[in-house]
Chain A
Amino acid sequence: MHRVDQLNWRLLLQRVIILCLAGGLLLYAAWPWLPGRRGPAVRTIVLYGFSILGEMMNGAVFPEFQAEWEARTGERVELVSAFSASGTVTNQMILGVPAEVAILSLELDALRLVEAGIVPGPLWRDLPHGGVLNRTPFIILVRPGNPRAIEDFADLARPGVGVVHPDPLTSGGAQWALLAEYHSVRMLGGTDAEAYAQLEAIWHNVVAQAASARAVRTQFESGFGDALITYEQEVLSDRWRGRLEGEIVYPQSTIFSEHIVVILDRNIAPEQRELIDAFVEFLWSETAQRIYVDYGFRSVDEHLNAANPDFGLIPFPFTVDELGGWPQAKREIVDGIWRNQVLPEVGR
């Protein structure tokens, strides 16, 4: 009888401890939502963006806007955000996530929103700079010391060079890269045939592909290939963090990617309108544009770019406008040339 009593005491103690722990955990979890703990409801801006924006938006751009808005109106607003691959974000919006503002890595994704009826038309073109928030050129990243002596896209076409490339079927960055590989030849005075020959030769050299610009980065870092085609911004931000293993090669001619701001009117309640408009306007303010430059993006205000000494010189840059805009470039180059001619040729 005595033994049983002892056992029960231990059991009871154990139970009390477990209950206390569970209760503590619940209290911790529910703490911010407990009555009395919650401040007055705070208005929010729901922003979806492509992946490389996350840190800059949460860490610098929004806090700046928050302070400005509070100074102007006395109201504190919060940012609710999600960052993922541009195509993924677009698909999420088509499925109905409550995004109020979106920043996409290429206009093609924005046009898909129009096609799906999420946005009534290409209204972003009425925004400042045609909806283009900032830019970044496509560059070549090579191994430290540049052992293969790669100086331009043409060198990637040499036999035996291993190129790591994001997959154009899924990655927005890869589509920009395709345009750069092809059109840079014509920018430097080459013919269509020469441009085609370079694109095909580069694709013969592709040794590894991954779904996104970020994933392909990981492949390159783990030792695949001699060269990687990627955003300048990504490489610069790695260099500042001391993580860069490799060297940037600036091509003579390359494309500047243009990142598009889309406002999703159907998700914006009437009382939110003023706040959203103020935020979008802020995105093109000099304050915000300076932040982009600090984070390695090129501002749409050319004169601000001088503030970043790390930006390399590109003698013959171009944008997708020179190819007739994204729909035409997609039709003629990505689909017409790369998918229908180069891919069958290299047998992928």
Chain B
Amino acid sequence: MNPFNPVPPERTSRFRRGPGRPRRQADSGTARPGATSRLPLALLLAVLLPLLLMPLASIFVFAGRDGLRGFLQTLAQPDAQFALRFSLLIAFATALFNGILGTFAAYVLSKYRFRGRETLNVVVNLPVAIPTVVVGTSLLLLWGPIGLLGQFLDPLGIQPMFAPAGVLLAHLFVTFPYMLGAVKPVLDELEVTYEEAAYTIGANRWQTFFFIILPALRGGLFSGLLLTFAHSLGEFGATVMVSGNLRLRTQTAPLYIFAQFEAGNIEAANAVAAVLALLSFAIFMLLQRFTQQRSTRGS
């Protein structure tokens, strides 16, 4: 099991089972019966309420304050629309790029044996551990006009930083491990017999990859893409460093929220925050549903 894997499939499905029948069965087996067994649950809820649930709820309470019309009007402002669209486009592009790159990396790391494989394994997972602000800084120090490479590119008129390309670079960096984390465990556990069978009937590496491995990876690919997309949508730390925060040009939705909040336009900030929250909920639900489905089908 990959230690950096953000969503181990079995864990999440058990975690998500919710108040349905299977859980009660499990409870009666381990917990003491009667009223005492409710106390821990009540305590947990009492802690979670101010910690998680109330802050999230307040976004929507505030968003609904001026009514739906006010909410939609705030949302319809050109810079809010731009920020949302730009964020979504970057998220799609990031998911596409890292979908391909991450799968390739997972394939190489899982199927090939070479010296330094473990080191490389750690390196590609590093972005999970590095603070995103540090990622932003490091990108600036490489590609920025005073950066190691940037100082040679700048005279040629190539300026990746403070432009959409810079935002994409930052998101690719930050979200790289998610695809890998979703795909590699599946690849690691994939039985080699199918592959071997394919080779024995004369398939080459590419054919084996496309017809044997890729179909088996579908689940991992899907959850990896969703995770990458969701993380890209919410990325702030690295983006704020490299985007230049230009309204209508490089301002992503999280940056818009922050800028509007700072300027005291809480309604504008909150409207976009509510949309982002809803989108993430949707993605998360999809992911949960999907992993649950897979684990029940698998068992």
Contacts and interface: CB of A to CB of B under 8 A. Distances in A.
A32 B85 contact: yes
Contact of B140 (A51, A78, A80, A95): A95
A240 interface: no
Contacts of A30: 85, 89
A26 B88 contact: yes
B280 interface: no
A92 B244 contact: yes
B142 interface: no
A97 B160 CA distance: 11
A96 B145 CA distance: 6
Contacts of A81: 246-247
A18 B247 CA distance: 31
B88 A28 contact: yes
Nearest to B84: A29
Contact of A31 (B85, B154, B244, B263): B85
B286 A18 contact: yes
Interface in B141-170: 144-146, 150, 154, 159, 161-162
A191 interface: no
Nearest to B289: A14
Interface in A265-321: none
Contact of B245 (A18, A84, A96): A84
Interface residues of A, number: 27
Interface string B245-276: 11111010000000100111100000000000
Interface in B202-240: none
A51 B247 contact: no
B89 A80 contact: no
Interface in A64-123: 78, 80-84, 92, 95-98
A28 B248 contact: no
Nearest to A116: B146
Contacts of B86: 29
Nearest to A30: B89
B176 to A, nearest CB: 21
B89 A29 contact: yes
A322 interface: no
A84 B240 CA distance: 11
Contacts of A29: 84-86, 88-89, 92
A31 B161 CA distance: 24
Nearest to A25: B88
A97 to B, nearest CB: 4
A80 B86 CA distance: 15
Interface string B123-153: 0000000000000000010001110001000
A31 B88 CA distance: 11
B92 A26 contact: yes
Contacts of B92: 26, 29
B245 A95 contact: no
A326 to B, nearest CB: 25
B85 A96 contact: no
Interface in B75-113: 79, 82, 84-86, 88-89, 92
A98 B245 CA distance: 11
A46 interface: yes
A38 to B, nearest CB: 13
Given A95-B144, A96-B146, A82 B246 contact: yes
Contact of A96 (B82, B161, B246): B161
A41 B297 CA distance: 53
Nearest to A243: B264
A54 B268 CA distance: 14
B161 A46 contact: no
B263 A54 contact: yes
A82 B88 contact: no
Contact of B263 (A28, A51, A95, A96): A51
A113 to B, nearest CB: 14
B88 A80 contact: no
Contacts of A32: 82, 85
Given A29-B85, A31-B85, A96-B161, A80 B249 contact: yes
A55 interface: yes
Contacts of A82: 244-247, 251, 259
A46 B263 CA distance: 19
Contact of A51 (B145, B154, B262): B262
A237 to B, nearest CB: 8
A142 to B, nearest CB: 21
B246 A80 contact: yes
Contacts of A58: 79, 247
B262 A98 contact: no
Interface in A201-256: 214
A284 B263 CA distance: 24
B43 to A, nearest CB: 29
A28 B82 CA distance: 11
A333 to B, nearest CB: 29
Contacts of A26: 88, 92
A55 B84 CA distance: 20
B159 A96 contact: yes
A54 B245 CA distance: 13
A196 to B, nearest CB: 35
Contact of B259 (A28, A83, A92): A83
30 contacts: A26-B88, A28-B85, A29-B85, A29-B86, A30-B85, A30-B89, A31-B85, A32-B82, A32-B85, A33-B89, A46-B246, A51-B262, A51-B263, A54-B259, A55-B263, A78-B248, A80-B246, A81-B246, A82-B245, A82-B246, A82-B251, A83-B263, A84-B245, A92-B245, A95-B144, A96-B144, A96-B146, A96-B162, A97-B244, A98-B159
Interface of B: 79, 82, 84-86, 88-89, 92, 140, 144-146, 150, 154, 159, 161-162, 244-249, 251, 259, 262-265, 286
Which 8 A-B pairs give the minimum distances between C-beta atoms? A96-B145, A29-B88, A97-B244, A82-B245, A29-B89, A97-B162, A29-B85, A54-B263
